Every structure is written in C-alpha cells, then in structure tokens.
C-alpha cells in the first residue's frame, strides 16, 4: 500500500524521538537521566482526580457536545477574565483533545494552501510540521540569544508579505522559557492590527512565571487586537494534566464556528471525564499551581547556576515554563565524553546519551543549531545527577 507524500515528508516529533531513545537504553538496563519531555513530574492534584471519580460515578461517561460541555466553556471564560481581564463568551471557546489538537484546528480553519505563516525561531517542534500539513508555508524568522530569543516588531514587519495569513507566538516559550516583555508584545500587536494579520498565541505555560517576569496575554492589548487573536491554552502544564488531553481555543466567534465545524468531523468529543476534571482544576483551589511553580522556580535557579559554572556555555534566562535552552557550540570539534568530536547539536545530544546516559533534545529540532533544550521538570536529585554527568562529559 502507498502512503501520501504529505505524511512521508513529515518529520516525527524530535522530543518524543529523544524520549524513545532514552527508553531503549533503559530497556537494556542502563540508568538514563532524562530531561527531554515537557511534562510536569507532579501527579495531578487530588481535588482534580477526585472530581474525575465523581464524574464517572455520576455517569458522565457518554458523548458530550463535539466542542465540549457548556460548564467548562463558561469556566474557561471566567478564568480568563479573572487572570487576564479580558471577556470572552462560551460561543468563542472550543475544547479539544489537548493544545496540539487546538493548534492544528486553528491552522486548518484559518489558512489556505500557499498562505505564509510567520514562526519566530527557536520554535516548538510541531509548529512548522502542522503548518505544512495544511499546505501553508512556514516562514522562519530568526531570533538570537542576544535578543533573549524574542521576535522584534521590526523583524515581524519585515517578514510580512501579501501572502502572510498568520503569525505563531509562544510566551512563555518552549524551548527557551522566555516570557515576552509587554513592550515587545505591544509593538507586535500594533503591527498585527495595521497589517490585519491573525496571531495564534500559544499561552499554555501562562501560569508558570518566575519572579522578575510578567506575563501578558496577547488578546489583552485592546479589542482590535483581540479580534485578530486566537488563544491556545489548556490544563496540561499548570495543573500537571498532560495525559488528560484537554486544551482549548479562545477566538472571534466566526473563527470558533469554523473550528467547531471542523472538530465535529474529526472527533465526537474531548474525553468526557477529563472535561469534568478540567472544570475542577479551573474552579477549584489554585494553591496547587502556586506550589508547583515555586518548585520549578527553585529548580530553575539551580539549573541556571550550574550552567553558569560550565565554561563555554551561554543561555538566555528562562522567565517561565520549565526549560533552559543553552549554547553548546563552543564544544564542537572537541572529543567530549572521551570519544570522538562532535560537529552539531544533534551529534552532541547523541554522544551525551550514549556516553554519559543523559537525555536532552537537540536545538536542530527547534530551528536553532548550536543549542540544546533541557527540561527541569525533574526532581532535584535527578537534576543534580544530570549536571554532574554533563560536567564530567564536557571535561572529558
């Protein structure tokens, strides 16, 4: 049987591939220190798990509306108003099977084949692939460590052409952890309105913000900006609910209607029990989020301190999420780990895994050669062992 060229040309997710390599070594009895997958290492909070049990016992195990239950849509609107001061109606909300599903929905609903989609680099590994799947063209705009990996309004304006349909923005960022300053966001918003460009704002890490940094939702820069913005968010990162698969979009009503029509043909509904768990997450006590964020902040401080102590390593400070993205290019051409020299970040990550049994992800996957991503969503004990192994690997 033949498979389509579209899928044949598609690259698998590099983060999942890196995690799979780590599992292969573990299956051989090797102790691997893994920092690849963007997943909180905490269990879903108790009150959320209990709400799921109650929902099952109450019989909420059947189909729901294809785009989610009304109660959860209202809770999402209430939470967004509470957290960001912006009002949405339930008719402007679509609940989907995780944020990745949301991203695909938005691109299918908003883009035509041949349209251009601006993506600042480094970018989350699936952005470009999802754009290509709808027949649109990803236009990569490079940002640098000296810019803290933020897309400047000047670069945004320069990248716009008559074919530009949409720009994808991620703050806090995966892979850099960068939180866009309000001034830069305001400049991007002004251009989006002037040029009538839709902005897909991926805000999945909006509750994981560290001291000295301020998060601002892109939709909060006025009604004209809101009418050109699609927000993607969910419960996976802030509430440690990655496996529950609940994400959502907030969008102008006509865009939401298009997404709803699409989703009605894709899936019968997001998991019914997970929706009631998400309802408890949004309506319930928020201290669990603050506690997890505090733990991540301690780890962030530890990780950045260890990196600063390693010669030749540079990075932009992560202000949110749970990643650090650091430059390892000064080690190119050197026999790291006591083996042969490496010449790119993919070879570096492979050597680190095979020689030191530490798993991280190559910056090549994020459109940033010379860098690697490490997730610090791991225990302090694991992080300590990991950085001891990394230092030994580099000194060798």
pLDDT in tens, 19-74: 787 788 778 888 899 999 889 999 999 999 999 999 999 999 999 999 999 999 99
Spell out the domains of the chain, with CATH numbers in brackets.
5-43+288-395 (3.90.1150.10), 62-283 (3.40.640.10)
pLDDT < 50: residue spans in the chain: none
Q: How far apart are CA 154 and CA 151, in angstroms?
A: 8
Q: Is 310 left (phi over 0), alpha (psi -120 to 50) or beta?
A: beta
Q: How far apart are CA 206 and CA 233, in angstroms?
A: 8
Q: How far apart are CA 281 and CA 235, in angstroms?
A: 8
Q: How far apart are CA 5 and CA 44, in angstroms?
A: 40
pTM for the model stands at: 0.95
Element spanning 231, H or E: strand 229-234
**Strand spans (E) along 109-189:** 116-121, 137-142, 164-170
**Under a CB-based contact definition with an 8 Å cutoff, are residues 312 and 336 in contact?**
no
Q: How far apart are CA 292 and CA 182, in angstroms?
A: 25
**Under a CB-based contact definition with an 8 Å cutoff, are residues 157 and 168 in contact?**
no
β-pairing, 198-202 with 164-170?
parallel
pLDDT at 20: 80
Which letter does DSSP use for residue 206 in this model? T
**Under a CB-based contact definition with an 8 Å cutoff, are residues 320 and 172 in contact?**
yes
pLDDT at 166: 98
- Which tokens go with 145? 């460590």
β-pairing, 371-375 with 323-327?
antiparallel
Residue 143, C-beta contacts closer than 8 angstroms, at least 6 positions apart: 120, 121, 122, 149, 150, 151, 152, 155
- Which tokens go with 50? 């209990």
Q: How far apart are CA 172 and CA 293, in angstroms?
A: 13
Q: How far apart are CA 325 and CA 297, in angstroms?
A: 16
Q: What is the side-by-side strand order in the sheet with 164-170?
A: 93-96, 247-250, 229-234, 198-202, 164-170, 116-121, 137-142
Q: How far apart are CA 13 and CA 376, in angstroms?
A: 19
- Which tokens go with 113? 């084949």
**Three-point CA angle 198, 143, 250, nearest 5°:** 25
pLDDT at 16: 72
- Which tokens go with 168? 């994808």
Residues in the chain: 396
- Which tokens go with 228? 């050109």
pLDDT at 10: 79
Nearest to 55 by CA among 277, 241, 236, 244: 277
SS3 category, 233: strand
pLDDT at 5: 85
pLDDT at 29: 84
pLDDT at 75: 98
Element spanning 94, H or E: strand 93-96
* Tokens 């969503």 found at: 377
SS3 content of the chain, % helix, strand, coil (to 5): 45, 15, 40
SS3 category, 326: strand
């Amino acid at each position: 049987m033949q498979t389509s060229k579209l899928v044949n040309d598609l690259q698998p997710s590099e983060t999942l591939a890196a995690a799979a390599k780590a599992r292969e070594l573990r299956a051989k009895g090797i102790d691997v220190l893994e920092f690849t997958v963007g997943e909180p290492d905490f269990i879903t909070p108790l009150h959320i798990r209990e709400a799921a049990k109650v929902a099952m016992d109450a019989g909420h195990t059947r189909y729901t509306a294809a785009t989610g239950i009304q109660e959860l849509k209202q809770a999402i609107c209430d939470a967004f108003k509470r957290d960001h001061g912006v009002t949405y109606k339930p008719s402007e909300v679509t609940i989907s099977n995780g944020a990745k599903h949301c991203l695909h929905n938005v691109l299918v609903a908003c883009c035509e084949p041949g349209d251009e989609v601006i993506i600042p680099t480094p970018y989350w590994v699936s952005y470009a692939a999802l754009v290509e799947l709808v027949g649109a063209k990803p236009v990569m705009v490079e940002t640098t460590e000296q810019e803290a990996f933020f897309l400047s309004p000047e670069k945004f304006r320069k990248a716009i052409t008559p074919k530009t349909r949409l720009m994808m923005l991620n703050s806090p960022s995966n892979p850099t952890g960068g939180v866009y300053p309000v001034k830069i966001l305001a400049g991007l918003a002004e251009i989006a309105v002037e040029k009538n460009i839709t902005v897909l704002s991926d805000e999945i890490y909006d509750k994981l913000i560290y001291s000295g940094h301020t998060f601002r939702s892109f939709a909060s820069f006025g009604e004209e900006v809101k009418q050109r913005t699609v927000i993607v968010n969910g419960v996976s990162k802030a509430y440690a609910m990655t496996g529950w698969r609940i994400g959502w979009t907030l969008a102008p009503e006509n865009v939401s209607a298009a997404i709803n029509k699409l989703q009605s043909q894709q899936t019968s509904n997001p998991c019914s029990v997970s929706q009631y768990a998400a309802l408890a997450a949004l309506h319930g006590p928020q201290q669990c989020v603050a506690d997890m964020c505090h733990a991540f902040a301690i780890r962030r401080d530890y990780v950045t301190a260890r990196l600063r102590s390693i010669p030749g390593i540079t990075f932009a400070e992560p202000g949110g999420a749970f990643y650090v993205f650091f430059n390892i290019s000064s080690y190119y051409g050197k026999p790291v780990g006591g083996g042969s020299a490496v010449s790119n970040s993919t070879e570096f990550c492979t050597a680190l895994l095979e020689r030191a049994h530490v798993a991280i992800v190559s910056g090549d996957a994020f459109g940033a050669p010379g860098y690697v991503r490490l997730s610090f969503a791991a225990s302090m004990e694991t992080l300590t062992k990991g950085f001891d192994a990394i230092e030994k690997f580099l000194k060798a």
